[in-house]
Amino acid sequence: MKEISNLINYRSDVKVVDATLRDGGLVNDFYFSDKFVQDLYIANLKAGVDYMEFGYKASKEMFDVNKFGKWKFCNDDDIRAIVGENNTDLKIAVMADVGRCDYKKDIAPREESPIDLIRVATYLNTIPAAVHMIEDAKNKGYEVSCNIMAISNAQEGELKVALDILGQSPVDVFYIVDSYGALYPEQIQRIANTYLEFAAKYNKKVGIHAHNNQQLAFANTIEAVGDGVDWLDGTYSAMGRGAGNCAMELLLAFLRNPKYNVYPVIKFIEDHMLKLREDGVVWGYDLQYLMTGLLNQHPRTAIAFTKEGRKDYTEFYKEVVALD
């Protein structure tokens, strides 16, 4: 049982990461207006958010720059056009996917870049490649985190081997990532304990990135805070792939550190997120995401169901059960 002080006092090690442009970009192919991004940067500054993730450093060899908004590629100049020299307490992050990022070429030395944190995203079967990227980013001077994706499908023994390898790398933060929105809070607690054991051994921090397939993204995030996880991802209006993420407005309202302020988040939602939805951008909890989360499946079938405007939930249920 967690102590009541968790809800009255706060832990100053907690860091909040705004992943709206990055995970939300998966919903609208990263086509955000400059005004949206500028106002989001200002809102994060005012809200006391610690890191703002601008998007991906995606390979321009693999992805056509004419088919996505610029935040799929996060050129340093594009970030600088928003943040200038960013002489603020808000740090800048980008995500670099193993196998989908020309990191040697596309990630400049930190002193030449507005970026502070490189978030390396990997599956369990590409951990050695992730370590190469972590070392490259660290050698260039960045803070580095590592997201191990889709762990709800992982064998606990293999996960421990991965954490032991990452522990010996120069990475700063291990991330718990519930890619399929499949995990319940009691599972988060067990997984957090595993991560924290290796974090203690190797002097790392632990983070969490949740998905809302079963309306548990916020609940799983605050479960993790109570367990000792310090780095917390949120997105405005929970915007993110499929069922979306942990809502920033819920997260900042929950955290007791006086440096956080939910009002600028509410204002940004009123000014920008309502319009996104009116314009037809669709994300958030619905039955199809519950089903893939429940069955611990990738949400791609549910995303397709959503894009096609289908409402025949029972047919979809039969389809995903057949995939199981």
Positions that interact with a second copy (CB under 8 A): 1-2, 4, 6-7, 184-187, 189-190, 193, 212, 214-219, 222-223, 226, 247, 249-250, 253-254, 263, 266-267, 269-270, 274, 287, 290, 294, 311-314, 317
Smallest separation (angstroms) from a second copy to the CB of 10: 14
Return all residues near 230 (Cβ < 8 A) that are at least 6 apart: 11, 13, 14, 15, 205, 206, 207
* Residue placing its CB nearer to a second copy in the complex, 146 or 290: 290
* Residue placing its CB nearer to a second copy in the complex, 282 or 294: 294
Q: Which CA distances in Å does 243 have to 29, 41, 225, 286, 289?
A: 16, 24, 22, 7, 6
CB 122 within 8 Å of CB 80: no
Smallest separation (angstroms) from a second copy to the CB of 100: 31
* Residue placing its CB nearer to a second copy in the complex, 126 or 212: 212
Query: What are the tokens at 122?
Result: 């990997």
Smallest separation (angstroms) from a second copy to the CB of 23: 17
* Residue placing its CB nearer to a second copy in the complex, 203 or 322: 322
Query: What are the tokens at 121?
Result: 């995203």
* Residue placing its CB nearer to a second copy in the complex, 69 or 244: 244
Query: What are the tokens at 305?
Result: 């169901």
3-state secondary structure of 61: coil
Question: In Å, how far from its chain's centre is CA 292?
Answer: 19
Handedness of CA 128, 133, 138, 142 (dihedral sign): negative
Smallest separation (angstroms) from a second copy to the CB of 241: 18
CB 242 within 8 Å of CB 181: yes
Residues 133 and 145: their CA atoms lie apart, in Å, by 11
Smallest separation (angstroms) from a second copy to the CB of 267: 5
**Tokens 């550190």 found at:** 257
Q: Is 276 exposed, middle or buried (0-12, 13-18, 19+ CB in 10 A)?
A: buried
* Residue placing its CB nearer to a second copy in the complex, 38 or 184: 184
Smallest separation (angstroms) from a second copy to the CB of 13: 19
